């Protein structure tokens, strides 16, 4: 059984990461480049008022964004403007790190997805896998984006640890809530599932200041493109994972 889970996750993760990288090349990555150019060139961004936090340039984890929280493809960008920050060179190196980050994330999420196939125990195929993949998209991308939408470089953001803690709470709460609502044997469990799903959204970390950053039109486009790319990523994970799992289990 472990061999089936590992093989299905590896195949689904690699294909999902490659497909996501191809989609990102035409969706989120050009927007990140525009935001970086706007940030580096000033772009008329307003300076933060006294007492306000400056934009968090060193903690925008774009690698945790498009599939789970927002944009994994930008993980290779590592947008940290610290004096000694390392960044991959533009061109082939940056593309290679983007694909690598997407594949690693894909394999990790695929392991979770295929493990859920096994825990559920029902027959699995590509179509059922897509349904599970959309549940993963809801838990790891859509629901967390209600509190922490995908962020471009230069945007104000809450403290890093608070954002990461809330993201994990939202993802786990959504996943557990969906499981209880769908597979709960009694209405009481379904009510608990709804409560668990909603609970994290009563506490969402917010930035201390507002203003500056990329134009709002660019940010809105990035949010839409990130979520659409995440949906494609999870659909591929579900379909490939379900198909491979069915063939190996047979």
pLDDT digits (tens, 9 = 90+) for 200-214: 999 998 887 666 678
Alpha helix positions (H), 121-184 = 126-137, 143-147, 160-183
Dihedral of alpha carbons 177, 117, 164, 233, sign: negative
pLDDT of residue 95: 87
pLDDT of residue 28: 92
The average pLDDT across 28-50 equals 66
pLDDT of residue 56: 41
pLDDT in tens, 41-62: 654 443 333 333 333 433 334 4
Contacts of 102 (CB under 8 A, 6+ apart): 16, 17, 18, 20, 21, 24, 67, 72, 73, 75, 233
Q: Is residue 108 a contact partner of residue 16, using CB atoms and an 8 Å limit? A: no
pLDDT in tens, 166-175: 999 999 999 9
Dihedral of alpha carbons 173, 206, 79, 37, sign: positive
pLDDT higher than threshold 50 for residue 63: no
pLDDT higher than threshold 90 for residue 216: no
pLDDT of residue 131: 96
Mean per-residue pLDDT of the chain: 82
pLDDT of residue 25: 92
Who wins on pLDDT, 38 or 103?
103
pLDDT of residue 76: 37
pLDDT of residue 230: 97
pLDDT of residue 176: 95
The average pLDDT across 175-200 equals 93
pLDDT in tens, 75-128: 333 344 444 566 777 778 888 999 999 999 999 999 999 999 998 888 899 999
pLDDT of residue 188: 93
How would residue 13 be classed by pLDDT, with cut points 50, 70 and 90? very high
pLDDT in tens, 132-160: 999 999 999 999 999 999 988 877 778 88
Residue appearing with tokens 């289990």: 249
Residues 128 and 33: their CA atoms lie apart, in Å, by 37
Write the DSSP assignment of 101-123 as a string of letters.
Answer: HHHHHHHHHHHHHHHHHHHH-S-
Residues 226 and 151: their CA atoms lie apart, in Å, by 10
Q: Is residue 130 a contact partner of residue 12, using CB atoms and an 8 Å limit? A: no
pLDDT of residue 33: 85
Residues 76 and 20: their CA atoms lie apart, in Å, by 14
């Amino acid at each position: 059984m472990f061999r089936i889970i590992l093989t299905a996750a590896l195949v689904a993760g690699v294909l999902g990461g490659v497909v996501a990288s191809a989609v990102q090349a035409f969706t989120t990555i050009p927007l990140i480049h525009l935001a970086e150019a706007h940030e580096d060139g000033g772009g008329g961004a307003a300076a933060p008022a006294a007492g306000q936090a400056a934009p968090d340039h060193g903690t925008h984890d774009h690698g945790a964004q498009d599939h789970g929280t927002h944009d994994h493809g930008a993980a290779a960008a590592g947008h940290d403007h610290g004096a000694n920050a390392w960044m991959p060179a533009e061109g082939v190196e940056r593309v290679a790190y983007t694909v690598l980050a997407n594949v690693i994330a894909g394999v990790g999420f695929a392991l979770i997805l295929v493990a859920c196939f096994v825990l559920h125990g029902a027959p699995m195929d590509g179509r059922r896998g897509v349904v599970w993949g959309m549940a993963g998209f809801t838990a790891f991308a859509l629901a967390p984006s209600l509190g922490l939408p995908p962020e471009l470089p230069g945007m104000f953001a809450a403290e890093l640890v608070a954002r990461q803690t809330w993201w994990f709470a939202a993802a786990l709460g959504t996943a557990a809530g969906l499981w209880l609502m769908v597979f709960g044997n009694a209405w009481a469990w379904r009510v608990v599932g709804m409560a668990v799903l909603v609970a994290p959204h009563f506490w969402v970390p917010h930035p201390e200041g507002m203003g500056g950053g990329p134009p709002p039109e660019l940010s809105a486009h990035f949010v839409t493109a990130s979520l659409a790319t995440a949906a494609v990523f999870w659909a591929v994970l579900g379909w490939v994972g379900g198909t491979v799992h069915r063939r190996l289990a047979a």
